[in-house]
Amino acid sequence: MPETLAAHPAVTPPLITASGLSLTLTPTRETISIGPFAGCLASLNTALGITLPETFATTIAADGVVYSRAAHDQWFATAPEGTGLMSRLEASCMKLAALTNQTDSRVTLSLKGIGARAITSKIVPIDLHPDFFGPGHTALTLAGHIPIILTCSNADTAYDFTVFRSFAQSLHHDILVAMNGGIPNSERV
Amino acid sequence: MHGILNAFSSASQSSERKTSRLSGNGIDTTKTLCFSFDGHNYTGHPGDTLASALLANGVRLVGRSFKYHRPRGILSAGPEEPNALVELRGGARREPNSRATVTELYDGLISTSQNRWPNLAFDALGINGMMSPVFTAGFYYKTFMWPASFWEKFYEPVIRRAAGLGRAADEADPDHYEKNNAFCDVLVIGSGPAGLSSALAAAESGARVILCEQDSLLGGRLRAENIQIDNHPGWQWAEDIVSHLRNMSNVRIMTRSCVFGRYDGGTYGVVERVSDHLAEPLPGQPRQRLWRIIAKQGIVATGGIERPIVFPNNDRPGIMLAGAVRTYINRFGVTPGQQAVVYVNNDDGLRTVSDLLAAGARIAAVVDSRAQPSSQAKTIIQQTGAPLFFGARIADTSGYRGVKMAIIRDNKGKNHRIACDLIAVSGGWNPDIALTTHDGGRPVYNETLATFVPALDSEDLHVAGVAAGTMTTAEALREGAQVGQRAAAQCGFREPSTPPVATPAVDQDETYGVVAQWHALDKESSQRAGKAFIDFQNDVTAKDTKLAAREGFISVEHLKRYTTLGMATDQGKTANVNALALLAEVTQQSIPQTGTTRVRPPTQPVALGALGGPHRGKHFKPYRLPPTHQWAVEQGAVFTANGLWLRAQWYPRSNETSWEETVNREVKTVRNAVGFCDVTTLGKIDIQGPDAATFLERVYVNAWQKLPIGRARYGLMLREDGFAFDDGTTARLGENHYVMTTTTANAGPVMQHLEFCHQWLWPEMNVQFISVTDEWAQIAVAGPKARDVLRQIVDPAFDLSNEAFGYMAAASVTICGGQTARLFRLSFSGELAYELAVPARYGDALAKLLMRVGQSYGIAPYGTEALGVMRIEKGHPAGPELNGQTTAHDLGMGRILSKKKDFIGKTMAARPALTDPSRPTLVGLRPLSPTLPLVSGSHLLPKGKPATACFDQGWISSSAWSPTLKSWIALGFLAHGPERHGEIIAVHNPLAGTITEAEIVSPVFVDPEGTRLHA
Amino acid sequence: MRLTCPHCGARALEEFTYRGDATLRRPAEDAPHQAWVDYVYLRDDPAGYHSELWYHGVGCRAWLVVIRNTLTHQIKSVSSAVASPAPNKSDS
Ligand SMILES: [Zn+2]
């Protein structure tokens, strides 16, 4: 009888705390990239029953699927594992878009706690003020030297770093160092 | 009760002296801190700088000058300090060239003087002063010219000993540094009257404001001057404004934060000294933090830097800037001398007289260079009764380790010898405009103020206060508020809804009335111009300036480099304008005609550690880990960096004594049984769309339209100039679906290239790409037993037989009872081989599974070293062959260039020079004596010819010991290579100085027929 | 220097990769040799506004046409290369 393969976490430890904040490896979500073929965006939206987000800053959710921009002409759809996202997308938009499984390409590290924004600001070079980057906002940018997709899940206190799996441990280290460095004084604006 | 020790006895520097202090607005005299300087113990108070504490302890001599080892004291009370540079701390934290004037005192601070030997009071190298003719302008260029060999052995070591500026630590910095990003509407730089009022105005408008102050305390000159605002001491007014600002949620106040540079796009570099004021950082706390602040609007309210006046022997300890004297009195409660001469060319400097008197000092004389006494001067003299010399100058001074006497030449030319222990000098103020010039802005000369003021045409930068040439507190407050409001308005904020804060009243008549006097040299004293210092830190004198001009260095840029004026770590903050004025006088030009030199960031020295931040040591760059990394660690693998990736280089066993033994064993395992290797690092790009095949045809040199589904093909990419760019295999998974592999090194560049081709060259093509490098853990399983091993893993429904799944086949399969996987029959080693890909999270488990099911077949993991040996044995080009200088023809692949389609690089690759048979072309090489190593980088020469460039016919690109052939083997490029198989050639290794012989052979050493590959 | 990506917003320089002149057009396969030499090797170096290609590699992966003043680093415009006006690509 063949044995099944066991999944291996992309970072260790999967949960760590420092300076009153926590850094957690979040459960994997099934992630499919959707690259519409030429002229197919409108039919694709119809097939999906939604309008794929136009801006890079915002995500939309429908039927348990979260859609966000992945590149100038691509989107990500994510859903909890085991909900058959790929099959559903293949059924509705196989001919309209390139569908590529990206579930294992990236992992998400979640930074939570008072001062999460201050810690994130140490490594992410974009304006995280809640007026510009509030809950649900997302950005493709850098954390130090590592490309990430940053998502705000709670203003000031919770940010998700989605990163290529191979970079995850290196990013984990960088975030932990930033956490250990504490929250700068006069951290407000 | 002043209680400051008599400065006349200060040179003896006895230790453990009690100090009692006046009150200062910036110190806390209720607490005492202990510190040491040159081994003597002293005490100070929280709020002290090292400089104020030394002065309070009567220490005036703090260092020796750079070239002449002249005794030097404390000139200033701020970051512009050229003299009082000390070594701080010890051991791994030893830090040279620390300015005592900005070093905050902490309990246990250890400091030592620099640039003296054997000790500060007696310096053996002070003799340099007698040799000063040697060290005049251009001495580097003149003195040490001959013979050239003396430079390294003699001149340089001697100069370094004599003229060094402190010693760096010998160990790695133990502290942590971090970076931070911040954004705001308005960045206010400086917290004096102009800075505070502009920050307040901008913040009241609703703008996001960051206020940066380099000092530990806010208030700027309001802490240094005895001035009343709204019937409160100025510093108290500042504290009120600061506490108001602190309560505003749109304001961030940063102290100990120096804005050192202004860059394009509203970007400012700031270094925050987080724990420099502590003996050691608290646990986890960084030592310094580098901020990048992005501001829509910047306000420079950096104040000014006072100018010295150039007169003979103007560098003695006890000769200080007048503004610094007032700072020490008012902020620190220290009177720097008891018997003072005040030497000014403006009214502002005259404030020093009343401040000194209030602190209990005597005024020995007031020397005002202006021809007529100003009304301010008259008032002060009436009030204080101090002797006033107007139209006068200081002609000389005396006192070896500290000033003891000023020789004052009155307006009739008569000399007066006045005993003193302090000379407070003000030659006027220079706006601190460095930040306004970093983007190329040139300041303009203002005759009235006798200095340079900023000339801004920038929409996002403003200047206020002394930095703008606004010399009085009242005007600075008013201007700051205006500028703050204007900056906020530029960001879209309207007038504040609450009425703007009324400009506070300054209860003092302020006048400035400067009349330029750059130097005090006249016919008589100019003979001592060699001791009239302009640039204290680099020991440049008035005489040097004149000499440089006489020798033709009349451009200010030349003067600077020839004399090294302004090129020390203080950037000539106290020197540059005086130097310009002197140069203008010598060359008989106006100051504007003379021009200014360009100031570049940083405005103050910034530690490299702060710039590096947390990116040091093994975290200098990020690292990428393949999915089997943890497993490989558990196996005891040795790792190598391959770009950012960490890859297993080999897997040593406990009985193996050298890496060669391990690698040979790994190669033999693959050649004779089966091995596996994580090849996830190769770039993988998913390509889909109706035009996918057409697109591949454009980017690869070879044909792709007819590749069947379920097959892979080797592909070569060129750059547009016709040289090879990258190679790999691409497999067709479906009608319009391909997966491309790239080399590990070029995964990113190939993706960028494909995006360029698609978005820019051929946007009409209907194709989509996305990287799947990280999605799949891809493991090569290679060796005669590879199929047997895979049969244990791949679900039985899939036919693995050679007939069904031959060389270059590709398929989606399931393994382990339904797990999705991809299988490719690809071989880099030349053996029967597969690449098996599973979702990345299962890579670790797949490695473990392969070990278990492969055990009976003798399986072992192999690393990149064995991989490299086997690809050389098989003659596969890799990075050293695809080095950016080789063509398809050079690589022996000229024939795969399609003639039937356009592709990137096609036209330029057809240039005759790129296909010339005399170009070095890929060959194999075997040494005549098999155990004699061939070394990559060696040159190939015809046998018997001298090892000179004209006989150079090629080079070795890769070499290895082949355990299969039991010989060294190599790949290389040789002119007419393919025609020369069998020829014996000379191999010259210029590093080792050896010439050996090798036979030219086919680059495919192992299984040239491909029997094993197709087994 | 900062560029405002039409997709991602204002970002710092390290997110972008420079390529060069955006006015060059890839010659036809059979174009005269000199046209190819010019395309591959010959570059203008204007003092002032320059239309150039940048790649937002860590962001949206879009190629961008940036009009930048080479003397002041003033950015006049940033647009997506795919959507940029035809004259850059289809003349000659
Ligand atoms: Zn972008």
Task: Kindly report, residue by residue over B476-520, the tens digit of the pLDDT.
Answer: 999 999 999 999 999 999 865 555 566 788 877 789 999 999 999
Residues of A in contact with B841 (CB under 8 A): 7-10, 28, 104
Q: Are residues B41 and B101 in the same domain?
A: yes
CA dist., res. B472 & res. B192, Å (int): 12
Give the rounded percent of residues in chain B with a pLDDT score beyond 90: 81
CA dist., res. A125 & res. B581, Å (int): 44
Give the rounded percent of residues in chain B with a pLDDT score beyond 70: 93
Q: Are residues B20 and B99 in the same domain?
A: yes
Task: Kindly report, residue by residue over B259-302, the tens digit of the pLDDT.
Answer: 999 999 999 999 999 999 999 998 888 999 999 999 999 999 99
Contact B648, B678 (CB under 8 A): yes
Give this complex's ipTM: 0.97
Which of the two residues, B771 and B165, has the higher pLDDT score?
A: B771
Q: So what's the pLDDT on residue A100? A: 98
Close Cβ partners of B54 (under 8 Å, ≥ 6 residues apart): B37, B42, B60, B62, B74, B100
Q: Which two tokens stand for residue C87?
A: 């004259």
Q: What is the CATH number of the domain that holds B987?
A: 2.40.30.110
Q: Looking at the predicted structure, is the pLDDT value of residue B469 above 60?
A: yes
Q: So what's the pLDDT on residue B530? A: 84
Least confident of B83-87, B583-587, C16-20: B583-587
Q: Are residues B789 and B922 in the same domain?
A: no
Can you say whether the dihedral through the CA atoms of B645, B649, B651, B657 is positive or negative? negative
Q: What is the CATH number of the domain that holds B787?
A: 3.30.1360.120
Q: Are residues B275 and B339 in the same domain?
A: no
Residue contact C81–B760, C-beta within 8 A? yes
- Find the farthest-apart pair of alpha carbons in chain B and give their distance in angstroms, rounded: 115
Q: How far is A6 from chain C (nearest CA, A)?
A: 32
Q: Give me the residues of chain A with pLDDT under 70, please.
A: 1-2, 186-189
CA of B44 to the centre of ligand 1 (A): 55
The last residue of one of the domains, among B475, B490, B505, is B490
Q: What is the CATH number of the domain that holds B138?
A: 3.10.20.440
Residue contact B759–C1, C-beta within 8 A? no
Q: Looking at the predicted structure, is the pLDDT value of residue B209 above 60?
A: yes
Where residue B9 falls among pLDDT bands split at 50, 70, 90? Answer: very low
Q: DSSP character for B460? A: S
Q: So what's the pLDDT on residue B386? A: 85
C27 touches chain A (CB under 8 A): no
Domain assignment present for B353: yes
Q: What is the CATH number of the domain that holds B288?
A: 3.50.50.60
Residue contact B771–A146, C-beta within 8 A? no
Where residue B868 falls among pLDDT bands split at 50, 70, 90? Answer: very high
Contact B977, B1000 (CB under 8 A): yes
CA dist., res. B158 & res. B152, Å (int): 10
Residues of C in contact with A167 (CB under 8 A): none
The last residue of one of the domains, among B96, B128, B143, is B143
Q: Are residues B329 and B401 in the same domain?
A: yes
Strand ranges, E, within B447-554 = 451-453, 461-463, 533-535, 540-541
Helix (H) or strand (E) holding A75: strand A74-80
Contact A10, A79 (CB under 8 A): no
Q: So what's the pLDDT on residue A36? A: 97
Where residue B128 falls among pLDDT bands split at 50, 70, 90? Answer: low
Q: Are residues B669 and B701 in the same domain?
A: no
Contact B713, B729 (CB under 8 A): yes
Give the rounded percent of residues in chain C with a pLDDT score beyond 90: 86
Q: Which two tokens stand for residue B891?
A: 């690589």
CA of B752 to the centre of ligand 1 (A): 13
Task: Kindly report, residue by residue over C14-50, the tens digit of the pLDDT.
Answer: 999 999 999 999 999 999 999 999 999 999 999 999 9
Rg (CA), chain B: 38
Domains present along chain C, CATH in parentheses: 2-91 (3.30.2270.10)
Where residue B143 falls among pLDDT bands split at 50, 70, 90? Answer: low
Task: Kindly report, residue by residue over B234-247, the tens digit of the pLDDT.
Answer: 999 999 999 999 99
Residue contact A166–B838, C-beta within 8 A? no
Q: Are residues B793 and B762 in the same domain?
A: no
CA dist., res. B596 & res. B577, Å (int): 8
CA dist., res. B585 & res. B579, Å (int): 10
Contact B619, B602 (CB under 8 A): no
Contact C18, C54 (CB under 8 A): yes
Q: State which residues form the domain around B1012.
A: 917-1015
Find residue B270's DSSP bridge partners: B259, B291
Where residue B11 falls among pLDDT bands split at 50, 70, 90? Answer: very low
Q: So what's the pLDDT on residue B157? A: 61
CA dist., res. B576 & res. B430, Å (int): 10
Helix, strand or coil for residue B730? strand
Q: So what's the pLDDT on residue B67? A: 82
Cis peptide bond prior to B602, omega within 30° of 0: yes
Q: Are residues B23 and B132 in the same domain?
A: yes
CA of A143 to the centre of ligand 1 (A): 16
Q: Are residues B291 and B439 in the same domain?
A: yes
Q: DSSP character for B199? A: H
Given a contact as 3+ CB pairs under 8 Å, which chains touch B? A, C
Helical H segments across C1-92, by residue range = 33-41, 87-90
Domains present along chain A, CATH in parentheses: 15-27+105-179 (3.30.1360.120), 29-101 (3.30.70.1520)
Residues of C in contact with B721 (CB under 8 A): 40-41
Q: Are residues B625 and B741 in the same domain?
A: no
How many independent structural domains does chain B possess?
7
Query: Mean per-residue pLDDT for B642-662?
Result: 97
C1 touches chain B (CB under 8 A): yes
Query: Mean per-residue pLDDT for B530-549?
Result: 91
CA of A71 to the centre of ligand 1 (A): 8
Q: Are residues B263 and B337 in the same domain?
A: no
Q: Looking at the predicted structure, is the pLDDT value of residue C87 above 50?
A: no
Task: Kindly report, residue by residue over B358-399, the tens digit of the pLDDT.
Answer: 999 999 999 999 999 999 999 988 888 889 999 999 999 999
Where residue B65 falls among pLDDT bands split at 50, 70, 90? Answer: confident
Backbone angles phi, psi at A45, to 5 degrees: -60, -40
Task: Kindly report, residue by residue over B17-43, the tens digit of the pLDDT.
Answer: 444 688 899 999 999 999 999 999 999
Q: So what's the pLDDT on residue B6? A: 33
Q: Which two tokens stand for residue B264?
A: 């394009």
Query: Mean per-residue pLDDT for B345-361?
Result: 95
Contact B312, B521 (CB under 8 A): yes
Q: Are residues B754 and B802 in the same domain?
A: no
Given a contact as 3+ CB pairs under 8 Å, which chains touch C? A, B
Mean pLDDT of chain B, nearest integer? 92
Task: Kindly report, residue by residue over B410-434, the tens digit of the pLDDT.
Answer: 999 999 999 999 999 999 999 999 9
CA dist., res. B810 & res. B1014, Å (int): 15
In this complex, which of C11, C58, C62 lies closest to A72 when CB atoms are compared? Answer: C62
